[in-house]
Amino acid sequence: MALEGRRVLFISYNGMLDPLGQSQVLPYLRELAKRGVRFTLLSFERPPAFSPAGRTQCETLQRELAADGIRWQWVRYHQTPSLPATAYDVLMGIRVAGKLVLEQQIEMVHARSHIPATIALSLKKRFGTKLIFDVRGLLAEEYADAGHWQEGSTAYRITKRMERRAFAATDGLVTLTEKIWPLIRDWPGLSGREVIHEVIPCCTNLELFKFNEESRARLRAELGIEDQFAVIYSGSIDGWYLTEKMADFFAYLVRKRPDAHFLWLTPSRHERIHELMAARAVDSHSYTVRSAKPDEVPSYLSAADAGIAFIKSCFSKLASSPTKYAEYLACGLPLVVNRGIGDSDSLITEEDAGVLVREFSEGEYEQVISQLDRFMQNPDATRKKAREIAAKLFDVRTVGVDRYARLYQRVLSSKGR
């Protein structure tokens, strides 16, 4: 069944002016639109989007998306107080989305995460639209694991109740990892019924994220690390990211390899990095902290020799697919990652994509450094293999878009429930 002319409402709680919206939503919609899907996009934008400059940005992007065959409408995101603000957003989303379903003759709603799924449930009940619940993570468990909610709290119970209803009503389901699917398959709402399911990890655009020899030489000269072994971390710090553990690892690495250099590429508080490195007696010449625009990130990754990411390991993170894994590999970097994060264990043990850190200890770090040496013996072969793994598992077109297209076709051709 072809997708040509099929009408889909895509609801995202991430704004399209946010980096996540730009990188994790629009590439998929644009590619699926090329295959004939007629998208209407509804997003929730933060206050800056409603400033004069923000409105100009939105209007420019709206025209660009229209040229790609995507109609975009946005509403304001409300943050506080948490539960009332979210409830208001849901009600507003139902009202606006209902009008879009009628005006655009929508056949299916693709709900990206839990709040959009709540809106989509109302649309399905009212209009009979097909529903895809794109589970970006286990929301209640994530908030509990992060210490923001108590298991059994009002917010936790409301979220789980909504999740059960979404599971029970959805025609198609997306998880980010293979690891989480058998664990939730028998949860209330899914247990005892067939549901069309696809595993679609967070992918990346391999045309943008790729190794560049010229950028490598330029940046390494600029940073004064031409002959050094550079480890890079790209992204936000703290929160789910174990910044102190990564600082511990590098402090140990530089003692064993004085030629090592840690490149922190983060928009977050740079003073936090300086404090952590100073506390571990890491010389300022052995690390660099920088911010970078999104289009500059591939160049910095090209300048490195390995990509690191230590993330808090807990149940909810079995559902997580860090985009930075895909970006590192696409730029030819072997990974240094800890176990228990989504499909990271099999990514390392089965694909040989890098080194798996099983515990945060100096004895383990000794083994990790030894294993990294194997990847550094032939840098060209290592970059080639990492790129091949990225193409196999994380290409936005041949993995992400192909799987979404397959899911759309199966859901749209399925009999209504």
pLDDT tens digits along 310-328: 999 999 999 999 999 999 9
**Structure confidence at residue 416 (pLDDT):** 60
Confidence of residue 19 (pLDDT cuts 50, 70, 90): confident
* Closest residue by Cα to residue 177 from 206, 198, 196: 198
User: Tokens 């030489």 correspond to what residue?
Assistant: 217
**Amino acid in the structure at residue 20:** L
| Per-residue confidence (pLDDT) for residue 209, from 0 to 100 | 97
What distance in Å separates the CA atoms of residue 383 and residue 396, rounded to the nearest whole number? Answer: 19
- CA 330-333-334 angle, 5° bins: 120
pLDDT one-digit tens code per residue, 87-144: 999 999 999 999 999 999 999 999 999 999 999 999 999 999 999 999 999 999 999 9
Under the banding of pLDDT at 50, 70 and 90, the label for residue 83 is confident
Nearest to 15 by CA among 59, 52, 46, 56: 46
Give the whole-angstrom CA distance, residue 402 versus residue 31.
9
44 pLDDT tier (thresholds 50, 70, 90): very high
SS3 content of the chain, % helix, strand, coil (to 5): 50, 15, 30
Count Cβ atoms within 10 A of the Cβ of residue 104 and give its class: 0-12 exposed, 13-18 middle, 19 or more buried.
middle
Give dist(CA 56, CA 13) in Å, integer: 21
* Mean pLDDT confidence for 391-402: 97
In angstroms, the CA 330 to CA 19 distance is 19
What CA–CA distance (Å, rounded) separates 34 from 3?
10
At residue 32, the pLDDT reads 97
Cβ neighbours around 81 below 10 Å, total: 8
Question: Distance of CA 76 to CAs 12, 46, 51, Å?
Answer: 12, 6, 12
Contact status, residue 228 vs residue 259, Cβ threshold 8 Å: yes
What is the average per-residue pLDDT within 38-65? Answer: 96
pLDDT band at 383 (very low <50, low <70, confident <90, very high): very high
Whole-number Å distance between alpha carbons of 307 and 250? 12
pLDDT of res. 114: 96
Nearest CA to 13 out of 92, 127, 101 is that of 92
Grouping H, G, I as helix, E, B as strand and the rest as coil, residue 259 is: coil
Looking at this protein, which amino acid is placed at residue 18? D
% of the chain beyond a pLDDT of 90: 93
DSSP-assigned beta bridge partners for residue 395: 204
Q: What is the pLDDT of residues 230-266, one digit of tens each?
A: 999 999 999 999 999 999 999 999 999 999 999 999 9
pLDDT of residue 417: 52
Q: Closest by alpha carbon to 82, among 158, 164, 21, 175?
A: 158
The pLDDT of residue 332 is above 80: yes
Task: Return phi, psi of residue 17, to 5°.
Answer: -90, -10
* Assigned token pair, 136: 């970006």
CA distances from 158 to 138, 147, 149, 330 (A): 13, 17, 12, 39
Helix (H, G, I), strand (E, B) or coil at 360: coil
**Cα distance between residue 20 and residue 99, in whole Å:** 26
pLDDT of res. 268: 82
Strand order in the sheet with 260-265: 287-290, 260-265, 229-234, 306-309, 335-338, 354-357
- d(C-alpha 135, C-alpha 392), whole Å: 22
> Which of 334, 312, 142, 343 lies closest to 239, judged by CA?
312
> 415: pLDDT confidence band, cut at 50, 70 and 90?
confident
Across the chain, what does the average pLDDT equal?
95
Instruction: Please choose, from the candidates 150, 162, 68, 58, the residue with its C-alpha nearest in 3D space to the C-alpha of residue 115.
Output: 162
- Give how far Cα 224 sits from Cα of 254, 263, 272, Å: 16, 12, 23
Phi, psi of 156 (to 5 degrees): -65, -45
The SS3 of residue 307 is: strand
Q: In this predicted model, what pLDDT tens digit does every residue of 261-306 receive, in sequence order?
A: 999 999 989 999 999 999 999 999 999 999 999 899 999 999 999 9
Report DSSP state, residue 395: B
